[in-house]
Structure 1
Amino acid sequence: MDWCIKMTTAPGTPCKAFHSLVLLVAWEVWKERNSRTFRHLGLPTLTLFAKIKDKVSTWIMAGTTRLAQLVG
């Protein structure tokens, strides 16, 4: 919890972008968890990381400039 508070209150950290990134990662991990639990299909960890990075890139191309600053 302390880490999250530090990240959202640090000077220069775009708060909305940080929250968007957290939600994006949580959503992808949740979908992977459901896939493993209900369909017995799971991605390798590095593939899941690549999928998350691809989603972040897609969001950045869609215009979330502050997210680009955060992960830049």
Structure 2
Amino acid sequence: MGTLEGVPDRGFRSLLLLVNWELWLERNARTFKRAERPVHIMLLKIKEEARTWSFAGAKHLSALLEGA
């Protein structure tokens, strides 16, 4: 995986997992429930989940969020 200057690698990987998880949930909602969220709502959900993961102990993700 490439590196981004100034971005903690483990925090970036955690963020990628989180984004992929939310995309998977959205895909399942659209496929099986015929429900979809607008993009801006998905982005808010990702930010909210990132904060939750940080509170739960994802310290590398927390460090990434502090820089944003």
TM-score (norm 2): 0.82
Q: Which has the larger radius of gyration?
A: 1
Q: Give the alignment's Cα RMSD to 1 decimal.
A: 1.5
* Residues 1:67 and 2:67 are matched in the alignment: no
Q: Which runs of 5+ in 2 are unaligned?
A: none
Give the length in aligned residue pairs. Answer: 66
**Structure having greater relative contact order (Cα 8 Å, sep ≥ 6):** 2
Corresponding residue for residue 31 of structure 2: 37
1:21-69, Cα deviation, whole Å (9 max, x unpaired): 1010001011101111111000111111111110000011112222122
Which structure dedicates a bigger proportion of its chain to helix?
1
What percent of counterpart residues are identical?
Answer: 41
Corresponding residue for residue 6 of structure 1: 3
Q: Which runs of 5+ in 1 are unaligned?
A: none
Structure 2 CA distance for aligned equivalents of residues 6 and 18 of structure 1:
9
